[in-house]
């Protein structure tokens, strides 16, 4: 090992035994390195929005963990067994039975990805004027709730909005906030509560089993449904196993089943926990809601036995379910995120604590206090990290939060973050080292950075396509 001046230094003795990836690499995809000049031009052409970069211009792609996973040989072998029938594909029935086995819901409606399921459930259950409480918003989920005429109400605990709080379950619902809302607007105006595990926008933070159980008891009292965003529920199950009393000895599969058992249905982006590149589903226990969803999916996604997916995609998802609950897999998955996070913590770079399940979140508000929030500190930081090293991250702050549909003003979230998101089974520890070093480099030059102005703003989910210019 050598220090930054190239002087060789001894490696410190380990304080714990390491885990290693429970797989070996069978096929490789070369990465392209670029010059700083090339990247400066690329990010300017992309309007300082990392979503608008060409992936060819990216070195290590930590934009998202969505659909960026590496499938196993077992999943790839399954791809060859795709039954590409328009109706009644055998892969659908396999997916349905694995969903029932691992998640425990009665009925399955496949969709092309998570937002397809969010669209369907929102249109079926929400009436104009309704309120949908949730443990923090997610961009696409809230968009579909609002399009159906609903208003999202944040009922997560206050600690979730504090990047420095080390609460172990920052995804917990604040039961008082939830009950206050029910009393204020009446249970008839609340079709369901939207509960996510782990909470993406809070920094990949888990909900505890105890809290989920309590939400079930409270909603039962009022006859309100719980719709679970199960996108990263396996990662949540791992945190429960590590942190919650009574769950140390339970398997990840058991914990996942128990979590789902307190809810009435789930929307799922298969592109995360399920270790695939495309796919999703809606799962539901209520036969009437299922019948409506099955009818609606035909209009928007495809027949109810494929929902916008090829048979092979459903096969890969079904096999992904078998792999996602394997203990050594999930340990290395979360362990890798933690490894990156711990490095940054050791170097005193401000990050959201505790380290989340799928990403390390940089606290842009704290890193760039001289850039006001309406000059987009997180957007600025993500662009700068890209220029430094070609590592691509994403903004999760005021740009992602969008505008309030009633006032038309920016929503100013307390959390102004850059998400450094780790795809599953794709990168190695050395990639994490390079990433951490780039973040540190930018952190050390932070005082020189200037904010951005938004020069193009799309109407919906603006963070995907907005363009910026240097101030």
The footprint of ligand F0G (CB under 6 A) covers 64, 66, 113-115, 138, 140-141, 196, 200, 229, 231, 269, 271, 280
Cβ atoms of 160 and 136 within 8 Å: the answer is yes
Residue placing its CB nearer to ligand F0G in the complex, 271 or 431: 271
Q: Which residue is nearest to ligand F0G (CB)?
A: 114
Residue of 74, 86, 412, 456 marked catalytic? 86
Q: Is 272 a catalytic residue?
A: yes
Q: How far is the CB of 337 from ligand F0G (least distance, A)?
A: 14
Q: How far is the CB of 98 from ligand F0G (least distance, A)?
A: 18
Residue of 50, 64, 68, 139 marked catalytic? 139
SS3 131: strand
Q: How far is the CB of 268 from ligand F0G (least distance, A)?
A: 8
Q: Is 396 a catalytic residue?
A: yes
Residue placing its CB nearer to ligand F0G in the complex, 182 or 275: 275
Sign of CA dihedral 424, 336, 205, 105: positive
- Which candidate, 402, 418, 404, places its Cα nearest to that of 461? 402
Q: Is 162 a catalytic residue?
A: no
Residue of 271, 272, 312, 424 marked catalytic? 272
- 205-218 CB burial, b ≥16 within 10 A, e <16: bbbbbebbebbbeb
Q: How far is the CB of 386 from ligand F0G (least distance, A)?
A: 16
Q: How far is the CB of 362 from ligand F0G (least distance, A)?
A: 16
Cβ atoms of 219 and 213 within 8 Å: the answer is no
What are the structure tokens assigned to 119, written together? 């669209």
Residue placing its CB nearer to ligand F0G in the complex, 48 or 138: 138
Q: Is 138 a catalytic residue?
A: yes
Residue of 59, 103, 131, 138 marked catalytic? 138
Q: Is 54 a catalytic residue?
A: no
Residue placing its CB nearer to ligand F0G in the complex, 386 or 443: 386
Q: Is 139 a catalytic residue?
A: yes
Residue of 294, 312, 319, 396 marked catalytic? 396
CB atoms within 10 A of CB 80: 8
Rounded CA separation 251/318 (Å): 19
Cβ atoms of 283 and 108 within 8 Å: the answer is yes
Alpha-carbon separation of residue 253 from 122, 242, 357 (angstroms)? 28, 14, 17
Residue placing its CB nearer to ligand F0G in the complex, 312 or 446: 312
Residue 91 CB partners (closer than 8 Å, separation 6+)? 81, 82, 83, 311, 312, 314, 315, 318
**Annotated active-site positions, please?**
86, 138-139, 229, 272, 396, 463
């Amino acid at each position: 090992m050598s220090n930054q001046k190239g002087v060789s230094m001894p490696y410190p003795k380990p304080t714990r035994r390491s885990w290693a990836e429970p797989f070996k690499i069978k096929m490789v995809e070369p990465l392209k390195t670029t010059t700083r000049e090339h990247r400066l031009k690329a990010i300017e052409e992309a309007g300082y929005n990392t979503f608008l970069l060409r992936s060819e211009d990216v070195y290590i792609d930590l934009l998202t963990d969505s659909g960026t996973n590496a499938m196993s040989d077992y999943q790839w072998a399954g791809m060859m067994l795709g039954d590409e029938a328009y109706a009644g594909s055998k892969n659908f029935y396999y997916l349905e039975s694995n969903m029932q086995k691992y998640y425990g819901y009665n009925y399955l409606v496949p969709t092309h990805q998570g937002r397809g399921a969010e669209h369907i459930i929102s249109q079926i259950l929400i009436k104009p004027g309704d309120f949908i409480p949730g443990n923090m918003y997610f961009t696409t989920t809230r968009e579909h709730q609002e399009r159906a005429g609903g208003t999202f109400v944040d009922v997560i605990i206050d600690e979730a909005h504090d990047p420095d709080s080390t609460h172990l379950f920052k995804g917990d619902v604040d039961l008082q906030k939830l009950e206050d809302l029910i009393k204020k607007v009446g249970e008839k105006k609340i079709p369901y509560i939207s509960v996510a595990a782990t909470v993406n926008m809070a920094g990949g933070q888990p909900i505890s089993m105890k809290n989920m159980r309590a939400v079930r008891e409270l909603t039962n009292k009022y006859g309100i449904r719980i719709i679970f965003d199960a996108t990263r529920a396996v990662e949540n199950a791992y945190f429960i196993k590590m942190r919650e009393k009574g769950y140390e000895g339970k398997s990840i599969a058991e914990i996942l089943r128990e979590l789902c058992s307190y809810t009435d249905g789930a929307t799922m982006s298969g592109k995360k926990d399920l270790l695939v590149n495309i796919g999703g589903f809606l799962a539901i226990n209520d036969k009437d809601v299922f019948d409506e969803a099955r009818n609606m999916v035909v209009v928007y996604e495809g027949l109810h036995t494929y929902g916008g997916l090829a048979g092979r995609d459903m096969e890969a998802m079904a096999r992904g379910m078998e792999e996602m609950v394997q203990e050594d897999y999930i340990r290395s998955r979360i362990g890798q995120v933690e490894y990156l996070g711990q490095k940054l913590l050791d170097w005193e770079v401000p990050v959201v604590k505790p380290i989340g399940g799928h990403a390390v979140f940089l606290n842009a508000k704290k890193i760039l206090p001289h850039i006001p929030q309406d000059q987009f500190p997180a957007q600025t930081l993500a662009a700068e990290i890209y220029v430094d090293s070609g590592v691509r991250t994403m903004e999760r702050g005021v740009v992602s939060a969008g505008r309030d549909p009633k006032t038309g003003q920016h929503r100013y979230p307390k959390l102004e973050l850059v998400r450094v998101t780790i795809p599953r089974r794709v990168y190695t520890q050395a990639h994490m080292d390079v990433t951490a070093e780039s973040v540190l480099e930018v952190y050390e030059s932070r005082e020189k950075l200037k904010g951005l102005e938004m020069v193009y703003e799309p109407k919906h989910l603006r963070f995907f396509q907005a363009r910026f210019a240097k101030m």
